[in-house]
Chains A and B, each alone.
Chain A
Amino acid sequence: MNSNYNYAFLDEGSKREIRRSILKAVAIPGYQVPFGSRELPIGRGWGTGGIQLTLSLIGPSDTLKVIDQGSDESVNAVNIKKFVCLCTDVKTTIDTRDATLIQTRHRIPEIPLDNGQILVFQVPIPEPLRIVEAREEATKKMHAEKDYAPMWLQLYESLVKYKKVTIPSEYPCMVEGRYVMNPSPIPKFDNPKLHKAECLYLFGAGREKKIYAIPPHTEVLPLAFDDVPFERESFLGKKCRQCGSENTYLDEIFDAQTGEKFYQCSDTSYCLEARSHVSK
């Protein structure tokens, strides 16, 4: 551990302020709590919201896992892990079940999390209404008055134009029938994992200076018309080329030389584990 810095890099006052914002966010599920986003040795927009949540929550007894689009080994995930270890000395893991604190970018692990675990999301744009209203002043009012008609209109317009809802990721959800929330850019495949979950989900947007949360057992439903049900990505007839899983979110990989398309699990630690079971 580098002793030139305070434990977990941020000073104790900052960590306390962030934890206070987290408590407020947990108390009002889906509501975006403003917070004083701190400077970090990483540019804003590179996961600083998630990192600040992780740093202010982490303690010596924690085990950390960091994933980027499901992968434990991507540059972003590895460097965030290194940074946190540099100033905390916590244990790290790639096993989803062993981790007490998981920081993620754009995926929720395939293995369901339990109530001792916290999943921290890195959020680029926390405001779900931004696509229909550019002004923060107006979106705040819309949330306050629960005026989500423009959002529904956006969905209807895409039904009229393309006969289906065309939002690929960041699919807006209604939290406990009150706040419309942006689940960060997770695929629609992961949306159902937010609903009535066992674990605590925390969302941090460093550049936009917002924190929000989904506490365990919260109702989180994707916006959908009564007669047009919400649909996830379908991988029907496809399976992971490495572990053979058919029920996971698959990445499509294209081999430019042979022109072949492969599919493999985006959650790399799940894939590793599934393979070790197969080989036994």
Chain B
Amino acid sequence: MYLNEAPELSVNNLVVRYGDGCSDCQESLEKNRCKVCGTVWAVNGISFDVYPGEVLGIVGESGSGKTTLMRSLYFDFIPTSGNAALRGYKGGQANIWEASAAEQRMIKNVIMGMVYQNPVLGLRMDYSAASNIAEKIIAAGSRDAGQMTGRAKELLEAVEIPTSRMVEPPKNFSGGMQQRVQISKALANNPALLLLDEVTTGLDLSVQAKVLDLIRKIKARYGISILLVSHDLAVIRMLADRTIVMLDGKIVESGLTDQILEDPQHAFTQQLVHSLI
């Protein structure tokens, strides 16, 4: 990373609020909930950058706003306020949340790839694995079926799913395989930014290792920028270059991953690191 390098993704003062809010909100928050009006501030004024080829880790306990942040970036819901710019969309000069529906679909399908914790959210469970990958390619505008099948084969091979099973729907697959299909789907259009939301949670240890290994390979091979959300510090330690620590919708600490894990400054981070078994 050079000082003059343009970030792949730049998020500025993102707020996601459930409820109308009130004038007392910021003073009377109990964790992330206002005691006066009951509004929940899931993400409360977050700013960060992701640089090309970098893996940015986001850690935090459940309810700290990690997933809300990811889902906002993938347009699953539109945030209350704030803006985000992508290098691949209007040269990083425009707010992606103000883009038209068609532009948002283009951003989702071409510039970004998303892997959800729950494969049900990211895959069409009744469509074949090949179709799941083709969906992205169709959305990017291709109408060449042969090319789609070729790309699906290539990607499924890359994630070690036998191509003989590409006509099967993911509902027939194990959890680890589903997660790998999701990753190959996310990579279909060579995105510039990959969003990984707790990709290994709920998988057994050997499968976890496989998925993590795959992500490392993808990082080395394609040089994609990755935004990685996890509550598992081992995953963060293994993959992330820089890390952000979230608590109650805010960033409490950020820096190089090694630094944060070896010398945590904030009380919450210290607790998090020390509770690592």
Give chain A's interface residues, CB within 8 Å of chain B.
Answer: 141, 145-147, 149, 152-153, 156-157, 159-161, 225-228
Kindly list chain B residues whose C-beta atoms are within 8 Å of the C-beta of A228.
145
| B128 and chain A: residue at smallest CB distance | A160
In the assembled complex, the Cα of A141 lies from the Cα of B145 at a distance in Å of: 26
Q: Is the CB of A225 within 8 A of B144?
A: yes
Chain A residues whose C-beta falls within 8 Å of the C-beta of B146 in the assembled complex: 227
B143→A152 contact, CB < 8 A:
yes
* A145-B101, A227-B145 known; A153+B135 contact, CB < 8 A: yes
A145 and B127 contacting across the interface, CB-CB below 8 Å: no
CA distance A222 to B138 in the complex (A): 17
Does B144 contact A156, Cβ atoms closer than 8 Å?
no
Give the residues in chain A near B144, CB-CB below 8 Å: 225-227
Given A156-B131, A156-B148, A161-B128 in contact, is the A149-B139 Cβ separation under 8 Å? yes
User: Are the CB atoms of B138 and A149 closer together than 8 Å?
Assistant: yes
B130 within 8 A of A: yes
Least CB distance from B161 to A in Å reads 15
A-B contact pairs, 6 of them (CB 8 A): A145-B101, A153-B138, A157-B131, A159-B145, A160-B167, A226-B143
- B138:A160 contact, CB within 8 angstroms: no
B residues neighboring A (CB under 8 Å): 101-102, 105, 124, 127-128, 130-131, 134-135, 138-139, 143-149, 166-167
Complex formed: what's the CA distance from A149 to B141 in Å?
9
Cα(A161)–Cα(B149), bound, Å: 12
- B138 close to A146 (CB less than 8 A): no
Query: Main SS of chain B's interface residues?
Result: helix
14 new A-B contacts, CB < 8 A, other than A153-B131, A226-B144, A228-B145, are A145-B101, A145-B102, A147-B102, A149-B139, A153-B134, A153-B138, A156-B145, A156-B148, A157-B127, A160-B131, A160-B134, A225-B143, A227-B144, A227-B147
4 closest Cβ contacts across the A-B interface? A225-B145, A157-B131, A149-B139, A152-B138
A149 close to B101 (CB less than 8 A): no
Task: Take A152-B143, A153-B135 as given contacts and tell me if A160 and B149 are in contact as well, using a CB distance cutoff of 8 Å.
Answer: yes
Cα A109 to Cα B134 in complex, Å, equals 38
Contacts of A161 in B (CB 8 A): 128, 167
Question: What chain B residues lie within 8 Å of A149 (beta carbons)?
Answer: 105, 135, 138-139
Q: Please, which residues of chain B bring their CB within 8 A of the CB of A156?
A: 131, 134, 138, 145, 148
Question: Nearest chain-B residue to A225 (Cβ)?
Answer: B145
Residues of A within 8 A of B131 (CB): 153, 156-157, 160
Please name the residue on chain B nearest to A158 by beta carbon. B131
Partner of A153, one of B101, B102, B127: B127
From A146, A159, A226, A227, give the contact of B102 (CB < 8 A). Answer: A146
The answer to whether B143 and A147 touch across the interface, beta carbons within 8 angstroms, is no
B130 and A160 contact, CB distance less than 8 A: yes
Residues of chain A within 8 A of B127, CB atoms compared: 153, 157
- Of chain B, the residue at the smallest CB distance from A144 is B101
Q: Which residue of B lies closest to A165 (CB)?
A: B145
A146–B124 CA distance with the chains assembled, in angstroms:
21
Least CB distance from B266 to A in Å reads 44
Question: Nearest Cβ in chain B — how far from A140, in angstroms?
Answer: 13
The complex places the Cα of A226 from the Cα of B138 at a distance, in Å, of 12
Query: How far, in angstroms, from A214 to B66 measured CA to CA in the complex?
Result: 50
Q: Which residues of A contact B128 (CB under 8 A)?
A: 157, 160-161
Separation of A96 and B191 alpha carbons in the complex (Å): 56
Q: Which residues of A contact B148 (CB under 8 A)?
A: 156
Q: How far is the CB of B8 from chain A (nearest CB, A)?
A: 25
| Nearest-CB residue, chain A, relative to B109 | A149
CB closest residue in chain A, given B152: A160
For A145, what are the chain B residues with a Cβ–Cβ distance below 8 Å? 101-102, 105
A147 to B124, CA, bound (A): 17
In the bound complex, how far is the Cα of B124 from the Cα of A157, in angstroms? 11
Report the Cα distance A176→B105, complex, angstroms.
23
In the assembly, what is the distance between CA of A121 and CA of B104, in Å?
A: 37
Q: Bound state CA distance, A149 and B145, in angstroms? A: 13
